[in-house]
Amino acid sequence: MAGCVQSRRLWQLERVEEDEGGSLGKFVEQLIIPVALRPSSGERLEIAMTETRQVLHRDLGETSVWAYSGGYPGATIEAQRNQPLRVRWSNRLPARHRLHVDHCLHGPHAYPDKREHPRPRTVVHLHGGHVPPESDGYPEATLLPGESSIYEYPNTQNGATLWYHDHALGVTRLNVYMGLAGFYLIRDESEFALNLPRGPFEVPLVIQDRSFAADGSLDYPKSWEEEFFGAAILVNGRVWPYLDVRPRKYRFRILNGSNSRTYTLAFDSGQSFYQIGSDGGFLPEPVGVRQITLTTGERADVIVDFSKRTGELHLVNSAPAPFPGKAGEGVIREVMQFRVRGTWGDDSALPSRLTAVPRLRESAAVKFRQFNLDMVDESPKCTDPGFRWLINGLGWDDITEYPELGSTEVWSFSNLSPDVHPIHLHLVQFQILDRQKLQPDPDRPGFFLPLIMLATRPDPPEPNEAGWKDTFRSMPGEVTRIIAVFANFAGKYPYHCHILEHEDHEMMRQFEVVKPNR
């Protein structure tokens, strides 16, 4: 099996080099900040999904993308904590999908006509949102062109960097690749007292990799592949952009919105920066870092001080693809450029304390569940290469987790495979308890047994992972334990690997929160 994995990867790397995109000029496009929607209390937003043409790089001409509210990436929704928001999501996409839909997967098989370009099915999920099931974007509750649905977001959770994106069963990777993703910030009044950089000095950055065909269109494989790595890096929908900045502090809300690629981000100036927040809100205090690793779906809220700089510096990446892979393999180094210009005063602060993060205690847990993440061999059928990535060997329709409403549970994920799996649970913000090493599998080189190494002790999470999370990196050969409270809403929610190619086939399952029997 492992040999088979290797040969597929070589093929993918060759493909990356051949693709248009890798040779595009760097730092010629200016970073675009997506439009912000700031609904007033009680207002209902109308957001349509449409196809539009946009210049992603001057040498590509116009590229057809899918937009929320007119642009790729979608408009940034800025919600206020404790102010519920309603959104009418409408699918106004054209009658045919732009990309080839692989009917072999679970989901698209529901398309009755099995054409390669059937009608685009979409459904919007608020990633990281504490949302009732009917507004969560259930992967089977899809909209066809001409259809719409009204979702309600309570916004009762902590201020945080959330994002919304498509989640349609078996075609999520295609819909997100076309552009269906945007930021959703929850702002908490108490945040203003922290005096963090804001206004033009607070910038959301979504990092995504894409490949282009010779005519400038987005290029994506015709049939399912286990991972997708693009030839060019886009930030906020522009290929390798630059941003003019002042010599002062900035707040960047960084999202890895890629299909498969992990990034380990640093500045080529070698300067350190501070992480102040993770997926679900602020960390207790700023954590000084020289680099941060973000797997797909993860966010980092950071403060960068450019005050001691002049001239150019770059945000660079060192993460191999696939991750963790071999050092240097599949890496695209450059991400974007910052040009420090002019002079500027700075009265913003880097507070020493940010918020209280009460620790969830294992002693409160009523259930301990165990999950194995592994590649499972199957007999090849249609375009299926003969294996799938699965959670406990089960698929989307096999529900085995029924947490009781309001209860605390500990979930342990053992990654038996050589690749990272970014695991995401809907509904909850959880905490990482610890990580521990697993034993290598003597019969499958590169793979692991679900057995903990003797005489090793659990490692606590890294300081920048010690806050609220909704997505964590499950590293090869490790068991990661997380703890969550399944509160407020009963119903079915997905949990899955956030490598969208894995999620689509079919590293995605669901849990159902149930009311306790009394």
Question: Which residues of this protein are in contact with Cu ion, per CB under 5 A?
Answer: 127, 421, 426, 497, 499, 502, 507
Work out the end-to-end distance of the chain between its first and last CA atoms, rounded to an integer number of angstroms.
Answer: 49
Residue 478 phi, psi (nearest 5): -130, 150
Query: Which of Cu ion, ligand C2O, none binds 261 (CB below 5-8 Å, type-dependent)?
Result: none
Our CB check for ligand C2O shows the closer of 350 and 394 to be: 394
Residue 400 phi, psi (nearest 5): -130, -5
Closest to 123 (Cα-Cα) out of 145, 109, 102, 138: 138
Q: How far is CA 194 from CA 198, 276, 351, 367, in A?
A: 11, 11, 6, 38
Residue 139 — left, alpha, or beta (φ > 0 → left; ψ -120 to 50 → alpha)? alpha
CB of 456 to Cu ion, least distance (A): 24
Q: Which residue has the tokens 């492992």?
A: 2
Our CB check for ligand C2O shows the closer of 177 and 242 to be: 177
Burial of residue 15 (CB within 10 Å: 0-12, 13-18, 19+) is middle
CB of 373 to Cu ion, least distance (A): 7
Query: Which of ligand C2O, Cu ion, none binds 299 (CB below 5-8 Å, type-dependent)?
Result: none
CB of 223 to Cu ion, least distance (A): 18
CB of 231 to ligand C2O, least distance (A): 24
The helix (H) or strand (E) run that includes residue 407 is: strand 407-415
Do residues 340 and 267 make contact, with C-beta atoms less than 8 angstroms apart?
no
Our CB check for ligand C2O shows the closer of 9 and 498 to be: 498
Query: Which of ligand C2O, Cu ion, none binds 497 (CB below 5-8 Å, type-dependent)?
Result: Cu ion
Query: Which of Cu ion, ligand C2O, none binds 502 (CB below 5-8 Å, type-dependent)?
Result: Cu ion
Closest to 149 (Cα-Cα) out of 178, 122, 185, 176: 122
Query: Which of Cu ion, ligand C2O, none binds 103 (CB below 5-8 Å, type-dependent)?
Result: none
Our CB check for Cu ion shows the closer of 118 and 297 to be: 297
> How far is the C-alpha of 139 from the C-alpha of 166, rounded, in Å?
9
CB of 158 to Cu ion, least distance (A): 16
Query: Which of ligand C2O, Cu ion, none binds 499 (CB below 5-8 Å, type-dependent)?
Result: Cu ion
Our CB check for Cu ion shows the closer of 408 and 415 to be: 415
Our CB check for Cu ion shows the closer of 348 and 510 to be: 510
Query: Which of Cu ion, ligand C2O, none binds 297 (CB below 5-8 Å, type-dependent)?
Result: ligand C2O
Closest to 301 (Cα-Cα) out of 179, 462, 153, 185: 185
CB of 253 to ligand C2O, least distance (A): 16
Our CB check for Cu ion shows the closer of 254 and 336 to be: 254
For ligand C2O, the binding residues (CB under 6 A) are 125, 127, 165, 167, 297, 424, 426, 494, 496, 498
Residue nearest to ligand C2O (CB): 127
> How far is the C-alpha of 81 from the C-alpha of 482, rounded, in Å?
25
3-state helix, strand, coil in the chain (%, to 5): 10, 45, 45
CB of 128 to ligand C2O, least distance (A): 8
